[in-house]
Amino acid sequence: MGYRQNNQIRIYTEIILAFLSVFVLDQLFMLQVHVMQPSPFLFLVLLFSMRYGWKAGITSFVFVLIYFIALEVLVNGDVFVMFYNMLSNKWLFVYVCIAVIVGASRTAWKERYEDLLFVNEELREELKSAQNAVSQLTITNEVLEQRLLQSEMSISSVYGMMRALDQDNIEFVTNEAVAILSSYFNAQDFGIYHVDTSGRTLRIKVRRGSHELLPQTIFLEEAKQFYQRLFEERNLTVKRESDEEAAPVIAGPIIINNEVRQVLIIRNMDLYQLTEHNIQLLHWLLQVISEGAERVVAKTIVKKRDKLYTDTLIYKKAFFDEYVQIEQQRFEMYKQPYACFEVFIGHAEHEKLYDISEIVRKFLREVDKVGFDAETGMLHFLLPGTEQKYVTQLRERIVTKLKDEVTSIHGT
Enumerate long-range contacts of 232-235, CB under 8 Å, 24 or more apart. 234/260, 235/283
Where does the pLDDT of residue 381 fall: very low under 50, low under 70, confident under 90, or very high at 90 and above?
Answer: very high
Render pLDDT for 279-321 as a digit per residue (tens, 0 to 9): 777 787 788 778 777 777 766 665 666 788 888 889 999 889 9
Render pLDDT for 341-378 as a digit per residue (tens, 0 to 9): 999 888 888 888 888 999 888 888 888 999 999 889 89
Q: What pLDDT sits at residue 128?
A: 87
Which DSSP string corresponds to 28-82? HHT--GGGSSS-HHHHHHHHHHHHH-HHHHHHHHHHHHHHHHHHHHHTT--HHHH
Q: Which candidate, 266, 258, 261, 253, places its Cα nearest to that of 194?
A: 261
Range of the domain at 13: 8-119
Q: What pLDDT sits at residue 152?
A: 45
The verdict on 18 and 104 lying in the same domain is yes
Residue percentage of the chain with pLDDT more than 70:
68
Q: What pLDDT sits at residue 65?
A: 75
The verdict on 179 and 293 lying in the same domain is yes
Q: What pLDDT sits at residue 382?
A: 93
Pairing mode, if any, of strands 237-238 and 217-219?
A: unpaired
The verdict on 312 and 297 lying in the same domain is no
Q: Is the torsion defined by CA of 73, 75, 81, 83 positive or negative?
A: negative
Q: What is the mean pLDDT of the chain?
A: 77
The verdict on 322 and 281 lying in the same domain is no
In a domain, 65, yes or no: yes
Q: What pLDDT sits at residue 36?
A: 53
Q: What pLDDT sits at residue 146?
A: 67
Distances (CA, A) of 15 to 20, 46, 110, 141, 262: 8, 12, 19, 61, 89
- DSSP 8-state symbol, 326: H
Pairing mode, if any, of strands 369-373 and 314-316?
A: parallel
Q: What pLDDT sits at residue 39?
A: 66
Where does the pLDDT of residue 154 fall: very low under 50, low under 70, confident under 90, or very high at 90 and above?
Answer: low
Q: What pLDDT sits at residue 153?
A: 46
> How far is the C-alpha of 190 from the C-alpha of 381, rounded, in Å?
27
pLDDT over 50 at 1, yes or no: no
Q: Please state whether 258 falls in left (phi above 0), alpha (psi between -120 and 50) or beta.
A: left
In a domain, 253, yes or no: yes
The verdict on 186 and 224 lying in the same domain is yes
Q: How many domains does the chain have?
A: 3
User: Which of 305, 326, 349 marks a domain boundary?
Assistant: 305
The verdict on 294 and 343 lying in the same domain is no
Residue 401 CB burial class (10 angstroms; 0-12, 13-18, ≥19): middle
Residue with the bigger pLDDT between 264 and 9: it is 264
The verdict on 322 and 295 lying in the same domain is no
Q: What pLDDT sits at residue 25?
A: 65
Q: Which candidate, 76, 78, 73, 44, places its Cα nearest to that of 58?
A: 44
pLDDT over 60 at 164, yes or no: no
pLDDT over 90 at 4, yes or no: no
* 114 residue type, one letter: E
Residue percentage of the chain with pLDDT more than 90:
8
Q: What pLDDT sits at residue 399?
A: 87
Rounded to an integer, what is the distance from CA 78 to the centroid of its chain? Answer: 87
